[in-house]
Amino acid sequence: MRSLFIILFSVFTFHQIFSQGCCSGGSGSPIAGGASQGVLKGRQIEIAANYQYSGTNRFMTDDKDTAKLFDYLYTNYLYTRFAYGVTDKLTMSIESGYFFNKTQYGLQKSDTITSSGIGDLIIFPRYSIYTRNTEKTRTEITLGLGIKIPLGKYNDSTKVFTDPNTGQKYYTTSPPTVQPTTGSQDFIFYGFLYRGYPEKKFRVFANMLYIKKGWNSLGQKFGDYASVGLFAGTTFLQTRCNFTSKR
């Protein structure tokens, strides 16, 4: 029996972006490092890890600045994915993320609220509806339908006051911005288009992602998430590890 293992570690990139909701309570997309999620070959295994740092200190309405709600928010996030090619057309993946921290600094540093912990479990099958391979090109169209199951905290609390006479502590629910998960079960709809040129080691691909958010037990529902991405890449170094067992 021979299986092919692929281990991926994403490249760390840092850049400034302007967007709405990227660090808001809805947390945008729970998926990180999924720019090229097509299907694997049958019995192929992929283990991938992606580190993501994000931070914001600006609030905008459309393309204009608006009043701040807090001074600064930043997160450190590690996302892992385990995928297995059930067949050449069907890939099943189990994915999850862990926040090392989600930290919010209040206006004029009036307070600091922070949390950490596991986020969501994502079960994400993908199926290739069209594949065409020639000597010079490779084309793939893949569709995916997944579900996001919350594992982490979404109703964590923060101490706001201690009675000096009785010593009793009073807590309030932390804002959604620092909760590791929204606490809702969401559905994920996914599309992937790939065009590769093996001889030139060059490829272009696009993905489309839509997340239909659900309600959590607190009666909260965050906004749905949609994204479209276009990417291009080339291969500089490729390494394969083959594991063979004999009986």
Q: What are phi and psi of 98, to 5 degrees?
A: -135, 130
Parallel, antiparallel or unpaired: strands 2-9 and 44-56 = parallel
- pLDDT of 45 reads 94
User: Cβ of 242: how many Cβ atoms within 10 Å?
Assistant: 8
- pLDDT of 121 reads 95
Q: How far is CA 44 from the centre of its chain?
A: 22
DSSP secondary structure letter of residue 213: -
Single out the residue of 68, 75, 60 nearest to residue 20, CA to CA. Answer: 60
Cβ atoms of residues 44 and 81 within 8 Å: no
- pLDDT of 79 reads 93
- pLDDT of 183 reads 94
Tokens of 238: 């490729």
pLDDT tens for each residue of 140-158: 999 999 999 999 999 988 8
The Cα–Cα gap between 217 and 183 comes to 7
The Cα–Cα gap between 22 and 57 comes to 12
- pLDDT of 36 reads 62
- pLDDT of 23 reads 44
- pLDDT of 238 reads 67
- pLDDT of 43 reads 93
- pLDDT of 26 reads 47
**Residue 96 vs residues 28, 120, 213, 238: alpha-carbon distances, Å:** 15, 6, 17, 26
- pLDDT of 128 reads 96
pLDDT along the chain (247 residues), means of 10: 49 42 50 70 92 85 79 92 95 95 88 92 96 92 96 90 89 90 95 92 92 93 91 78 55
Cβ atoms of residues 85 and 131 within 8 Å: no
- pLDDT of 242 reads 58
Cβ atoms of residues 89 and 131 within 8 Å: yes
The Cα–Cα gap between 204 and 76 comes to 29
Tokens of 51: 């580190």
